[in-house]
Structure 1
Amino acid sequence: MVTKFSSFIQTFTNLGEKDIFKSTQGRLTRMYSGLLMLFLVFFIAIVYIVLHVVILNNQERELQSLVNQEANFIESYLLKDEQNDLQGMDDQELVFAGVNQFFYYVVNSKGEIIMGNESDPRLRSDLLQLINGRFQSEREIRKETLHDEGNSNGRGMKGGFHPREAPKDIRLIITSRAIYDKGQFIGQLYVGKDITFTYQLFRSLLLILIAIGILFLGIAIYMSVVMSKRAMIPISGAFTRQREFVADASHELRTPLSVLLSSIDAVEMTIEPQQRDMVEKILSNMRQEVRRMTHLVSDLLTLARSDSNTIQLSLETFDFRPQAETAIESVRPLAVSKQIKLHLNTLGSLITVGDPQRLSQLLYILLDNAIKYTPQGGEVKLSLSIVGQQLCISVQDTGIGIRPEDYQRIFERFYRSDKSRSRQMGGHGLGLSIAKWIVDTHKGTIKVSSELGKGSTFMIHIPLVYKE
C-alpha cells in the first residue's frame, strides 16, 4: 500500500514536467513533501512512544500499589487476629479486586497455594506456570501473554451454558511481594493485572495516528505544490526574460553579421594590387571572426527556440546514408587542413525516421567537434548501422580525450573542460548541448567514452519508431 501511495505521489508531482522548470518544481515538491512527511512520521512516532510509556508506567504503578495494599492487609489480619497462618481468611468477607485485577495467589515456601482467586478458574494451571520460578527479585514486574482457548462449546465450568467465547490472548503484568508475620515468612503474594484493553487501546491509537498522518500527508503534498510554485515564480520570470532577450538578440544580430560578411567580400574585390597582401590578411581575419560570430548566434538562436518549444521536428522516413556522406564531405576541408583521415563505415541504406535537417546537424556537430580536438595526422571515424529498431551512430577520434568527471558536463551549455585550448580551437561550448537536444527530441540517448591522450567515442542510439 505504501509503495502504491509513493508511486501516486511520484506520478502526481511528475505530471506535466515537460521542461526544466516543471522538473525543478517537481523536485522541490518532492523535497518539501519529504521534509513534511519526515516531520510527520517523527511526530507520530514520538506521540505513540510517549503515550505507550506513560500508560504502561501508570499501569505498573497501579499494580505495585495494589500488591502493597493487599500484602499490608494480609499482614494486618495476621497481626490483629494473632493468626499463625492464613487458614480461614478465605471465609472472611474480604475481596481483593483492584481495577482489572486478573488473579492473586499466596504461595508458601513449598510452592503450594495457601489462598487465592482468579477471574477464570480454567486458567489456574497456566497462571501457576507463569509465576513458578519466574521472579528473580522482590517486586519485579513482568509482562506475560496468556493464551485463552475460549469456550468453544458454550458449556461452563459447572455444566451451565454461557455465551460462546473465541480464543484470545490475554496480556498480563505480574508482580509479587513476600508476606511476613513477626519476622517469619508466611508466603509470597502474586498479583496479576489484565492490560489487554491497554494494548487494544494502543492499536486503536496507532490506527488513529496513521489516519491523521494520511490526512495531513495530503495537506502536506498540497502545501508542497503551492510552496514550490511560489518558489519558481521569480526564477521562471527571470529565465523567461533572459530567454526572450537571447532569442531577440540572436535574431537581430544575424542580419548585421550577414551584412558585414557581404561587405568584407565586396571590399576584397576592390583592393589595389600593391596593398593586397596586407589587406587580404586583415579581411581574412575579419571574415573568420564574423563567421564564428554568425555560427555562435545561430547556435544561441537554436537553443533559445528549443527552450521555448518553438522548434517543431519535421519527421520523415528517409535514407540516412546520403546525409552522412554529405556531412563527411562538408567537414573534409577542415580535416585536410589538419591532415586528419576521415572514414565512413556503413553498409547499404539506412532507412530512418526523424528530422533530416536536425540529424544532419547532429552529424556535423559531432564530426566538427572530433576534428577540432584531434591533433595533426589523427583519424576520425563515423560508423552507422541499424541494430534492431535503433539507428546507431558512432563518432570516434584519436584526439586529446575527456576526463571521466567531465562526461556529463560536456553537454552543458558553454562548458569547456580546457577553456584556454577550446578558445584557441574556436569552440564556444554550445555544439554538444545542441547535439544532446537533437538526440533528446528524437527520444534517443547519447553517451561518451574516452581515454586521455588516446581519443573519444560518442555513441548515439535513436529509435526508428518515434513515440510522442
Structure 2
Amino acid sequence: MFKNTQGRLTRIYSGLLILFLILFIVIVYSVLYVVILKNEEHELQTLVNQEARFIENDLWENNKGDLRGFQNQEVVFAGVNQFFYYVVDSNGEMLMGSETNPRFRPDLLRLVSAGFRKGNEVRQETLRVRNFPNGGGRKGEFHSPNEDQDVRLMIARQSLYYKGQFVGELYVGKDISFIYQLFSWLIIIFAVLGILFIGIALIISVKMSERAMIPISSAFKRQREFVGDASHELRTPLSVLLSSIDAMEMTIELEKGGMIAKLLTNMRQEVKRMTHLVTDLLTLARSDSNTIELRTEVFDFRPLAEKALESVQPLAAAKQIKLGLSSPSSLQVAADHERLSQLLYILLDNAIKYTQSGGEVKLGLSKKGNELYIVVQDTGIGIKKEDLGKIFERFYRVDKSRSRQAGGHGLGLSIAKWIVDTHKGTIKVTSAVGKGSTFEVRVPDTNK
C-alpha cells in the first residue's frame, strides 16, 4: 500500500517537474525564435531602406526620371552582406542585380515576382538548391559544396519614388539558413538537457515522496500498533464473557423461549461476533507488521476441506443451502495448514452469507502442475461489475445493510487475499448479479 502511494506521489511530483521543464523549454525557444528572426528582419529592413534612400537621393541630385542610369552602378552594393539584390524599373524589367551564384537567378526572380503582391514587406522563402557549385557559397555561410540542400531566405522589398512618382522597386535577400540550423542545434541541446533533467527530476521526486511518506508511515505504524494491542487485550475479556454465559446457562434452569434464554442467546451471538472481529483485526495488524510467518508443511488438503465444510454446515442448514464438494480422494500440498483452513472458512462463510435460502454452494479442489486450485461457487445475489475491484479492500461492503444483517464486517475477503498473497498465489472473482459468484484461488506449492 505504501509503495503504491509513494509510487503515485513520485509520478505526480516528476510529472509536475517535467511539465514545468517543457513549459520552460517552449517559452525560451519561442522567445529566442521570435527575437532572433525579428532582429534579422529589422536589420534587413534597415539595409533596404538605406539603399532605397541612396537611389532616390541620386535620382533627385542628377534630376533623373527613371532608373536606367543605374544599370552600370552595381558597385553601390559592393560589400553588403546579402544573398542577392535586384533593382527593377516600373515596367518590371530588371536593371541591375547580383546574387551569390548566377545559376540561382531564374529561381530567385521567380520567387521575387510570385511572392510580393502589394506594399513594402519582409517575408521568408525557401530556395531549393541542387548540387551547390564549388565556390558558390560565400565565406561565413553554412553551405557545403556539391550538396543538395534548401536555402532559407529572408527577402525585403522597397518601392522607389522620384518626385512622388513610382519608378521601380528594390529587392534584397538575406540567407538565414544558419539561423534555422542554430534552432535545430538548440532543439538538440534542449533535448539532451531535458533527458538529464528528467533523470534529476525522478531522483528529486523519489526523495520528496519518501519525505512525504514519513509522517504517513509513522501515523500508520502507531495506528497498527494500537489495533494490534487493543485486539490482543480485548480477546481476554471476550473469552471471560463467553465463559460466563456458558456458566450461566449451566447453572440456571432456563425456560425454552423465555426472556432470559433469549438474552443469553443474543449475548452469546454478539460475543462470538466480537471475538471473530477482534481476531480478524489482530490478523490484519500482524499482517501489516509482517510478524506472521508461514509455517509450511506437507499435508492432505482434502480432510481440511471436509472439516471446513463441516464447520459451516450449521450456517448452511439454517438457510437450507446445499453444500457440495468436488475433489480428488487425496490432494497433497505444501503450504501453511492453519492459513489455508482460515481461507476456506472465509470463502465458504462469505458464499453462504450472500446466498438466498434454498441455494447452493460448491467447493472444487484440484491440482494442476505445482499449483493448488480452489474454486468456491455460489448461487447468491452476485456482485456488480463496478464493485468487483473493491471487494478485497478492508471494511468494504457492497450492500452495508445486508452485510450487517448477515453479520459481516468487511474484513474477511481482505484477509483471504492476504493469505493468498503470502503464499504468492492469486485470487480472482467472476460474478453476475442475481446468478451468483465464483472465487478462484491458485496457490503454488511452496516446496517447488
- Band the TM-score falls in, shorter-chain normalisation: 0.7 to 0.9
CA contact (8 A) 1:338 1:377 kept: yes
Any idea what the Cα deviations from partners look like across 1:215-235, whole Å, max 9, x if unmatched?
443443333233322322222
1:123 is matched by which residue type in structure 2?
Answer: F
Q: CA deviation at 1:400?
A: 2.6
Cα distance in 2 for residues equivalent to 1:409 and 1:47? 46
1:317 positional shift: 5.0
Q: Is the 8 A contact 1:78 1:86 kept in 2?
A: no
CA contact (8 A) 2:254 2:260 kept: no
Quote the residue 1:41 is aligned against.
22
Q: Judge which range, 209-218 or 433-442, deviates more.
A: 209-218
From 120, 132, 145, the equivalent of 1:165 is 145
- Please, which of 9, 19, 42 is the counterpart of residue 61 of structure 1? 42
Distance 1:82 1:299, change over 3 A: same
- Aligned partner of 1:337 in structure 2 is 318
User: For residue 432 of structure 2, what is the amino acid of its counterpart?
Assistant: E
Question: Structure 1 pair 122/293, CA: closer, same or farther in 2 (3 Å)?
Answer: same
Whether the 8 Å contact between 2:74 and 2:97 is mirrored in structure 1 is: no
Superposed displacement of residue 309, structure 1: 1.0
For residue 85 of structure 1, the aligned residue among 39, 42, 67 is 67
Distance change in 2, residues 1:89/1:409 (3 Å): same
Unaligned runs of 5+ in 2: 138-142
Instruction: Show the counterpart of 2:283.
Output: 302
CA distance in 2, matches of 1:386, 1:274: 52
Q: Which residue of 2 aligns with 1:259?
A: 240
Q: Structure 1 pair 188/424, CA: closer, same or farther in 2 (3 Å)?
A: same
Q: Deviation of residue 207 (structure 1)? A: 3.3
Give distance in 1, aligned partners of 2:283 and 2:106: 88
Matches within 5 A, 1:299-448: 299-316=280-297, 318-347=299-328, 349-386=330-367, 390-448=371-429
CA contact (8 A) 1:71 1:189 kept: yes
SS of corresponding position for 2:187: helix
Q: Note the C-alpha offset of 1:177.
A: 2.7
Q: Which amino acid aligns with 2:67?
A: D
Structure 1 residues 252 and 71 mapped into 2: Cα distance closer, same or farther (>3 Å)?
same
CA contact (8 A) 1:446 1:459 kept: yes
Q: In structure 2, the residue corresponding to 1:381 is in which secondary structure?
A: strand
Q: Alignment partner of 2:59: what SS?
A: helix
The one-letter code sitting in structure 2 at the alignment partner of 1:105 is: Y
1:191 is aligned to 172
Give the alignment of 1:207-218 within 5 angstroms.
207-218=188-199
- Quick one: structure 1 residues 258 and 79, their matched pair in 2 at CA, closer, same or farther if it must change by over 3 Å? same
Structure 2 CA distance, aligned partners of 1:43 and 1:401? 53
Shift of 1:416: 2.2
> Counterpart amino acid of 1:165?
P
Matched, 1:95 2:56: no
Over 3 Å counting, the alpha-carbon distance change for 1:175 and 1:91 in structure 2 is closer
TM-score normalised to structure 1 length: 0.84
Normalised by the size of structure 2, how large is the TM-score? 0.87
Whether the 8 Å CA contact 1:399–1:456 is kept in 2: the answer is yes
Letter in 1 for 2:175: D
How many Å apart are 1:173 and its aligned residue?
A: 0.8
Change (3 A) 1:87 1:346: farther
- Percent sequence identity over matched residues? 64
Cα deviation digits, residues 90-145 of structure 1 (max 9, x gap) = 347522554x4211012346654310112333433332332232322232333122
SS in 2 for 1:101: coil
Q: Distance in 2 between matches of 1:204 and 1:289?
A: 76
Whole-angstrom distance in 2 between the partners of 1:387 and 1:432? 24
Taking structure 1 as reference, are residues 420 and 91 closer, same or farther at Cα in structure 2, changes over 3 Å only? closer
Which residue in 1 is equivalent to 2:267? Answer: 286
Query: In structure 2, how many angstroms separate the alpha carbons of the residues matched to 1:320 and 1:379?
Result: 22
Q: 1:296 deviation in Å? A: 1.1
Secondary structure class of the residue paired with 1:132: helix
Name the CA shift for 1:321/1:144 in 2 (closer, same or farther; >3 Å). farther
CA distance in 1 between partners of 2:311 and 2:380 (Å): 20
Deviates more, 1:86-95 or 1:139-148: 86-95
Q: Residue 130 in 1 paired to residue 111 in 2?
A: yes
CA contact (8 A) 1:442 1:463 kept: yes
Supply the distance in 2 between the matched residues of 1:213 and 1:300 (Cα, whole angstroms).
Answer: 49
Secondary structure of the 1:142 match is strand
Q: What is the CA–CA distance in structure 2 between the aligned matches of 1:193 and 1:93, rounded to whole Å?
A: 18
Distance 1:388 1:124, change over 3 A: farther
Question: Structure 1: 5+ residue runs without aligned partners?
Answer: 1-19, 158-162
RMSD: 3.0
1:182 CA displacement? 4.5
Corresponding residue pairs, total: 441
Q: C-alpha separation between the residues in 2 aligned to 1:102 and 1:122? A: 13
Partner deviation per Cα, 1:13-47 (whole Å, 9 max, x = no partner):
xxxxxxx2232122111111111111111111011
Judge conservation of contact 2:70–2:95 (CA < 8 Å) in 1: no
| 1:463 to 1:244, Cα distance in 2 relative to 1, 3 A | same
Q: What is the alpha-carbon distance in structure 2 between the residues aligned to residue 191 and residue 95 of structure 1?
A: 10
- CA gap 1:164/1:140 in 2 versus in 1, 3 angstroms: closer
Q: Is the CA contact (8 Å cut-off) linking 1:395 and 1:458 kept in structure 2?
A: yes
Range moving further from structure 2, 311-320 or 185-194: 311-320
In the alignment, does 2:94 pair up with 1:117?
A: no
Distance in 2 separating the partners of 1:457 and 1:145: 69
Q: Please, which moves more after superposition, 62-71 or 210-219?
A: 210-219
